[in-house]
Chains A and B, each alone.
Chain A
Amino acid sequence: MNDAPARLPLTGIRVLDLSSVWAMPYAAGTLTDLGAEVIKIEALQRLDSSRAGTTNGMWPEGDGGREPWNVPGSFSLINRGKRSLLLNMAGPEGRDVFRELVAISDVVIENFTARVMRDWHLEYEDLKALKPDIIMVSNTGYGHDSPWESYPAQGTALEGTTGIPNFSGYMGGRPWTVGQSYPDFVAMWHGLFSIMACLRRRAITGEGAWIDLGMYQANVGFMGEAMLDYVANGRLGERLGNRDHIQGVQGCYRTLGDDRWFAVATQNDAEWCALRDLIGTAAWGESTPPATLAEARERHDEVDGVIAAWAAARTREDAAQACRSAGLPAGPVNDARDLLLDPHLRARGLYEMVDHAPGTGVGRRPIIGRPYRLSATPLHVRHPAPPLGEANEYVLKELLGMPAARFDDLVAKEITGWREPLAEPVHGLPMQTLLDAGRLRVYDPEYRERLGIVPEQA
């Protein structure tokens, strides 16, 4: 982690980030890696809910310490590199300050329901009057100017509505959501694309734009071939567990070890035969092993039984290695610890060590960096996530040139300023409760040694 000396692709771009939770905050955090100055705006009266991790208690060692709002893990990962401004926009004076900030910014990102910015007279046309080439992202669940524009949405519940779970889940079973809040990331990528495309357009034409990002429709586009299958063939689609929906034979099988699994896939006759030969004919008992991929697909249940029996006698590493040696796509089912210790991801630097703000007790921890590399511009997380309100004076006095008297007046009215934002102390759930309730599967007391991290003594 350092301040890269080279010019970064977004050096000189200033972003006002009014967004909360995951999708747009992660997009804006991503912009900081690329050199943008991102000012995260919250209010004492309205924190980003991901700061106040009262139920997941994702604090260092499960202890929020003196500043629980500054230390949650997800918050720190998502909001890396930003500056933090406290500005209460519920009243006109706070909104006036925001308007002044718009005039010196390039991009505004917000994820309020549609009525909020409308009620505040801070829609695109209003911002454009202040800064003609402003680029504004309005991220909602369903998009503006539409029947559901003010329906609240977050990734988990929204995933159902997108239709993707219609194709996700065990065979013959109900639809499932998969992963963690997947629609947020789909929205994030398309939001980032739109920002970059509009920055390019601005560089050429001098014009700004409004990006009306409804998460719902961005996600529907990730099932295009299945939508056309319905339009053309009337097929509604089905849930196939881990089977291939195109033409392969594949699965995820339990191996030796505590809840350890591996996956293998065959996508053509040659691969199928390689897997069949690896497992050997004895495993098939009385029956003849399938000769082709198509036959194996017809006998998929039987194939699964044979592979499962083969896998059950091996470690996941041995099973994956044997398949890879035969030229097959195969790999272990990794958990969080496996990933953080994975030699390939370490060599590529997917996880990046970040020294967090002194006094918070977070210390040095790895966070997710970036799933891409640039050949000429090495990228790094430039700063840890900001402690609440750390940039009040920088933004208001230095960037806006606000006189001390006006600043002090805003502090007195709690429009900016700082106090402890939570009226009552918050408690995380004890580790044993998280384990008993299945929120966590394993507690690894040696994780710090494994990761090579020494937390700061709070």
Chain B
Amino acid sequence: MTSANVTRPQAPPGPMSGLRVLDLTRRIAGPYCTKVLADYGADVIKIEQPGTGDPSRSIPPYFHDAPDPEGSLHFLYLNTSKRSVTLDLKSERGRQIALDLARRADVVVENFRPGVLGRLGLGWETLHAINPRLVLTSISNFGQTGPYRDLPASELVEYAMSGVMTISGREDRSPLKHGLSQGQYSAGATAAWVTAMLTFAQAMGEPGQWIDISILEAIAAQLVSNEPYYAWMGGIQGRRPAAGDGTGNGLRDIMPCEDGYVILQPRQGEPWSKIVDLLQEPALDDPRFETAEGQLINAEPLYKILSKAFVRRKKHELFHGAAERHILFGIAQDPADLLDCPQLNARGYWVDIDHPVTGTMRYPGAPVRIPQAPWDAQRHAPLLGEHTDEVLEADVGLGRAERDALRAAHVI
């Protein structure tokens, strides 16, 4: 267990340290991108609408289920290490301040609908003209071009259109989306790496570019088996066939065991005897099941035997037993399992972050360990406008009187 506040003084800086990011993003996809940049060392200034802030402040779940813009758990997770400045981008003075901040920034990230940034007077041509080094990252549902550019979308609709749902779930039930907001996170993580790539080019002296990230494409680009099945042989995949009372043959699919759920993934060419040995089920020792073809053709009997074999066994015993035999195996875990997981704890994954409203809470930590330049949640997610004064004074040179006037005019 490490605490962000305790480790910071002695830890070396993260790999994005020194990078200045002007963050115009809201909700999930954009904030995940800038969270990655910030937790790896970038100085991220998050612009929020005065009064309401990032719309993710107004969506559940909340800390202790109490609706509070400072207690939104989406917001608290997705905005660690950032500073918050309230600024009305629709006002001319607000726009000028944003341009001042963009002049000093290395990167701007935004996820407005296509065209909105331009209408705010902050489009690519404007930003590129005032700061040729600047990288602009735009994340949108369908991208900045193409016939669907302006269509409304949502997580479910993007998943539906991406192709992932058509191969997920049971044949006799509806296509199935991923849980929570995986499409938004997928796009945010894609945006983070492409942005980091251009900050490398920037460090090499290259001029900035405009990055166009499509959430739909970030999901669709995962179908590295589904796409070539059609392009190589005309095959279209569907959902899992319902064989017997199950879904396929019981392999590569989450199955009930005595104390939870498990998933067994045989590899190509792996001796079937290893799996018979793991499960200690004599009925599996059958030549019909020894080849991948046999496992496919004899799905129903295999499913029946596997279901009986799994429900007699405990998940952790099977998980460690599979690892000893070098068999691919998973257990379906819930948040309580994850917080207790000896592996995650040995890796120092969870971090305790203090916050003025919630007190100290345990958060997910580093996605990747880089010992020479580690991840560090530098600070808790900011209160709305927490850093408005310090940023406008230090970065834009606005004195107290001017800030008071802007505050009275609801610009900040």
**Which residues does chain A contribute within 8 Å of B181, judged by CB atoms?**
225, 245
Q: Are A429 and B323 in contact (CB under 8 A)?
A: no
Chain B residues in 8 Å Cβ range of A9: 197-198, 200-201, 206
Would A160 and B331 count as touching, CB distance under 8 A?
yes
A69 at the interface (CB under 8 A from B): no
Residues of A within 8 A of B370 (CB): 194, 197-198, 209-212
Select from chain A the residue with minimum beta-carbon distance to B59: A246
Say yes or no: B179 contacts A168, CB within 8 Å.
Answer: yes
Among A163, A180, A230, A336, find the residue whose CB has the most chain B CB atoms closer than 10 A.
A336
Pick from B164, B182, B218, B349: contact of A217, CB below 8 A. Answer: B349
Task: Return chain B residues, CB-CB under 8 Å to A235.
Answer: 61
Query: Given A166-B179, A334-B162, do A254 and B362 touch, yes or no (CB 8 Å)?
Result: no
Q: How far is the CA of A98 from the CA of B199 in the complex (A)?
A: 30
Judge if B369 is at the interface, Cβ distance under 8 Å: yes
Task: Report the bound CA distance from A347 to B149 in whole Å.
Answer: 11
In angstroms, Cα B187 to Cα A58, docked, is 28
Q: How many Å lie between the Cα of A26 and that of B193 in the bound state?
A: 14
Q: Which of A59, A147, A225, A376 contacts B232 (CB 8 A)?
A: A59
**Contact with A374, one of B176, B186, B210, B255 (Cβ below 8 angstroms):** B210
For B64, B197, B214, B328, which residue has the most chain A Cβ atoms within 10 angstroms? B197
Cβ contact within 8 Å between A371 and B152: no
Taking a contact as CB atoms under 8 Å apart, the answer to whether A233 and B254 are in contact is no
| CB under 8 Å from chain A, chain B span 13-71 | 14-16, 18-19, 36, 40, 59-61, 63-65
Q: Are B198 and A332 in contact (CB under 8 A)?
A: no
**Contact flags (1/0) for A136-169 with B, using CB distance below 8 Å?**
0000001110111011111011111111111111
Taking a contact as CB atoms under 8 Å apart, the answer to whether B262 and A160 are in contact is yes
The secondary structure that dominates the A interface is: mixed
Q: Is the CB of B265 within 8 A of A156?
A: yes
- Complex Cα spacing A62 to B230, Å: 11
Shortest Cβ distance from residue A436 to the other chain B in the assembled complex, whole angstroms: 8
Q: Is the CB of A367 within 8 A of B231?
A: yes
Which residues of A are found within 8 Å of B378, using beta-carbon distances? none
Chain A residues positioned under 8 Å from B7 (CB to CB): none
A366→B78 contact, CB < 8 A: no
State whether B199 touches A178 (Cβ < 8 A): no
A166, A222, A367 — which one has the most chain B CB atoms within 10 A of its CB?
Answer: A222
Say whether chain B's binding surface is mostly helix, strand, loop, or mixed: mixed
Q: A73's contact among B18, B228, B265, by CB below 8 Å, is which?
A: B228
Query: Closest B-chain residue to A142, C-beta based?
Result: B343
Residues on the B chain within 8 Å of A74, using CB? 224-225, 228
Q: 11 A–B contact pairs at CB < 8 A?
A: A73-B231, A73-B232, A157-B265, A157-B329, A176-B169, A228-B63, A267-B154, A330-B157, A345-B146, A367-B231, A371-B220
Q: With A58-B228, A212-B368, A336-B163 in contact, is A265–B157 under 8 Å at CB?
A: yes
Contact A440 B235 (CB under 8 A): yes
Which of A54, A239, A265 lies in contact with B269, CB distance below 8 A? A54
User: Is B237 a contact of A440 with CB atoms below 8 Å?
Assistant: yes
- Distance (Å) between the CB of B222 and the closest chain A CB? 5
B321-365 interface code vs A (CB 8 A; 1 in, 0 out): 001001111111111111100111011010000000010011111
Give the number of residue pairs across the A-B interface with Cβ within 8 Å.
567
Is the pair B225, A220 in contact by a Cβ cutoff of 8 Å? Answer: no
B209 to nearest A CB, angstroms?
5
Are A232 and B361 in contact, CB atoms less than 8 angstroms apart? yes
- Chain A residues with CB under 8 Å of B303's CB are none
Max chain B Cβ within 10 angstroms of own Cβ: one of A142, A148, A224, A433:
A224
The 8 closest A-B pairs by CB, nearest first: A73-B228, A167-B179, A441-B238, A438-B241, A160-B330, A371-B217, A224-B77, A230-B335
Shortest Cβ distance from residue B146 to the other chain A in the assembled complex, whole angstroms: 4
> Shortest distance in angstroms between A404's beta carbon and chain B's nearest beta carbon?
36
A55 B59 Cβ-Cβ under 8 A: no
Name the one of A170, A189, A339, A444 contacting B234, with C-beta atoms under 8 angstroms: A444
Are B59 and A210 in touch, CB under 8 angstroms?
Answer: no
Contact A230–B336 (Cβ < 8 Å):
yes
- Shortest C-beta distance, A64 to chain B (Å), equals 11
Is the Cβ of B163 less than 8 Å from the Cβ of A334?
yes
Q: Which chain B residues lie closer than 8 Å to A445 at the CB level? A: 234
Q: Is the CB of B268 within 8 A of A54?
A: yes
Within 8 Å CB of B193, what residues of A? 189-190, 192-193, 196
Q: Which of A151, A203, A222, A366 contacts B203 (CB 8 A)?
A: A203
Task: Identify which of B86-94, B293-301, B384-392 touches chain A.
Answer: B293-301
A204 touching B65, Cβ below 8 Å: no
Chain B, 147-184, CB within 8 A of any chain A CB = 147-148, 151-171, 173-182
The residues of B that contact A327 with a CB separation of less than 8 Å are 152
Which chain B residues border A72 with CB–CB below 8 Å?
228, 232
User: Are B154 and A438 in contact, with the CB atoms below 8 A?
Assistant: no
Q: Give Cα A434 to B230, complex, Å.
A: 13
Q: Does A292 contact B (CB under 8 A)?
A: no
Whether B203 and A200, one on each chain, are in contact in the complex, defined by CB atoms closer than 8 angstroms, is: yes
B203 touches A263 (CB 8 A): no
Chain B residues whose C-beta falls within 8 Å of the C-beta of A233 in the assembled complex = 61, 63-65
On whether the beta carbons of A160 and B361 are closer than 8 Å, the reply is no
Q: Is the Cβ of B368 less than 8 Å from the Cβ of A216?
A: no
Residue of A147, A186, A368 near B223 (CB, 8 A) is A368
Q: Which of B124, B164, B209, B336 contacts A179 (CB 8 A)?
A: B164
A77-B224, A190-B367, A233-B65 known; A182-B372 Cβ under 8 A: no
Contact status A177-B253, CB under 8 Å: yes
CB pair A216 B344 closer than 8 Å: yes
Check: B204 CB closer than 8 A to any chain A CB.
Answer: yes
Across the interface, which residues of A come within 8 angstroms of B333, CB to CB? 160-163, 166
Does A201 belong to the interface (CB within 8 Å)? Answer: yes
- A253 contacts across to B, CB distance below 8 A: 174
- Is B306 an interface residue, CB under 8 A from the partner? no
A331 close to chain B: CB less than 8 A: yes
B328 engages A157 (CB within 8 Å): yes
**Residue of chain A at shortest CB distance from B263:** A160
Cβ–Cβ < 8 Å partners of B372 in chain A:
207-210
- Is B227 at the interface (CB under 8 A from chain A)? yes
Bound CA span A372–B212, Å: 5
Name the contact of A350 in the complex, choosing from B185, B203, B221 (C-beta under 8 A). Answer: B221
